[in-house]
Amino acid sequence: MRRAIFPGSFDPITLGHYDIILRGVKLFDEVVVAIGINSDKSYMFSLEERKQFIEEAFKDEPKVKVVTYEGLTIDFSKEIDAQFILRGLRNPADFEFEKAIAHTNRKLSRIETVFLLTSARTSFISSSIVRDVIRNHGDYTVLVPDSVKLK
């Protein structure tokens, strides 16, 4: 089975993430969306909310699993027998950052990182932009899947 892990904080999941996951299921037998837990970071949405947003968005896609994890992504990848790390690239800055992580992961393990370019229609969206729109009472719904709802 060709299993890829798509790690991130997903605070919240965006249409860019959604697009990468949908395209990833065409390449892999299973895409594990792995929500990383970082106790040093403060989040707008709780871990449970973030997980629920993603599960609801992919409720009809059996090839997508949603889990949470702590620690190094490569260690968790070994635990779940994922052979690939799936990452999306929006711009050259993303590439430089992700390239360094991919090289480090390859040095520490045998896992391959697969990069997908975001679609032109979602390349400007980031979770931090979505959070800023929400904080300023803007229409965030055009940037996220329908499953992302504020309480």
User: Which residues are tagged catalytic?
Assistant: 17, 41, 90, 127
Dist CA 90 CA 3 (whole Å): 23
- Token representation of residue 66: 């949603």
Sign of CA dihedral 29, 75, 15, 58: positive
Neighbouring-strand partners of residue 31: 4, 64
Dist CA 63 CA 140 (whole Å): 27
**How far apart are the two ends of the chain, measured CA to CA in Å?**
38
- Token representation of residue 65: 């699993």
* 17 contacts 99 by C-beta, under 8 angstroms: no
Main-chain phi, psi angles of 93, to 5 degrees: -65, -40
